[in-house]
A and B are shown apart, each in its own frame.
Chain A
Amino acid sequence: MAVETQKAVQTQPLVSRRPWLSSKRVRNTVRSILTHAALIPAALIFMLPFLWMLSTSLKTDAQLYTYPPVWIPNPINWMNYPNTVTYITFFLYMRNTVIIAASATLGALISCSLVAYSLARIPWPGRHVLFIITVATLMLPFQVTLIPLFLVFKNLGWVGDFRPLIVPHFFGSGLYIFLLRQFFMTLPIELSEAARIDGASEFRIYWSIILPLAKAALATVAIFEFIARWRDYLGPLIYLNNQKLYVLSLGLYEYSSQYGREWGLLMAASVLITLPIILLFFFLQKIFVQGIALTGIKG
């Protein structure tokens, strides 16, 4: 039977309904062409805002309002870039943004990994309840805590500097605790038991065994948090009132005045702000996807 079939295929390849699809390789090529055909238009749409930013950042004021709009300005006006970093105190704002984003990320990493460790790896009564409470905070709209937190920081005299934007992140965040706990749960418990027999303290196990194994998950948390802080607008809007301490997202507002917007300069600044995180994401996206897959959103 098998021999017959094979023979039939060999002698009558045209019997197949779609002979050009018969070989697996051809089929794969067709499939990948179709995939690209779907991905490329979508990619163009997703690139549109950024490309338009780029294009506008290279235009002079006169070129801005031509209709229909042009993509590649002629002549290309590079001057928006050197001008934009002096129009607002760009590098000062960037320094502030980096300080806040880096400290908050560090805080989130330390606090969330410690809490997640205790929830996942140390048996103590009430930890399940605490875990549910932690997840429940994810459902809490930020508006509920917004006002009381503002008042707490005001009474502490912290409003106007970086502390309200950094310190809360040292107290953990539901989402990251959830992700890290899910990941820590997947590591074999024997690792901890062996270390305990050798007399290692809990902190030692956490620091020298669990953390090194959780690099991808930690990296994911770090990127999430860093990007979130880099882009944050509401926090700085509420807490910062001294212009010397402004961050980039607030600085972008200075290009608008009652006389209109400096579109070219604004877009040049936006490109400069976005570029570092694009690079960060491009090089780390693999860890990122793996990190989330490993942490197992799936429960």
Chain B
Amino acid sequence: MSRPVPFSKSRYFPAVLGFGSLAAFVLAVELLVQVDVINRFLIPPPSEVIAAIPRVIMQEHVLSRFMLTAGEALVASVLVTIFGVAGGVLLYQFRLLRLATETWVAAIAAAPLVLMYPLYLVIFGRNATTIVMMGFTAGLAPIILKTLEGLAGTRRVLINVGRSFNLTRSQQFWKILFPAALPTIFVGMRLGLIFALINIVGVEYLINFGGLGQLINELAERFDLPGTYAAICFVILVSIIVFMLTERLERWLRPAS
């Protein structure tokens, strides 16, 4: 005999609490702005922000901007996957090279590479190439490291199975090591994509060129407050969706995990 479970213990309560408190917060802000406790030139009333969304979408060609940013991200991802995985495989195959350079790669992964964007502006000019290169640079090191980690972390017993069948080095690599490392490589690719995307949108904002990042910059420079807030919310939404999609993709590609 089980009693009906009170709502506070149901599985939807946490989600309701989370979104509910967010909605309550937005409402509170709306109220405070309307009664002038909060300066509406610092924080526009949420109602205006929401009203600005359709205007921004229509007038600012949000769709084409989105496609531009997405295109840059895609190109950067492809480049970074090719070079990153290849780099990781190279380092794995040549032990001396790995011993010599692995710490360097790790150090680069930790450095604020995005600060090089003025350099890229000079080298490539103020265009999409700079943005793509910036995304590429930022996402490269994580993929190399993750590929290396995946290959090096193959369970000893799997390698022994291969040796017991007398596989050649090439077969050993392509039939055992690489497939075993794929899950970790996918994690690396996802990390690389995320790093690249963050840097791409960021640099778009900074150099005032490109898609979504540039939109925010432009609206801010026009002092269109509700528009700026609306655009930022939109970018947040896009980033969340991309993140969720890559999560699903990763889980689909590695069901065992």
Genuine A/B complex: no
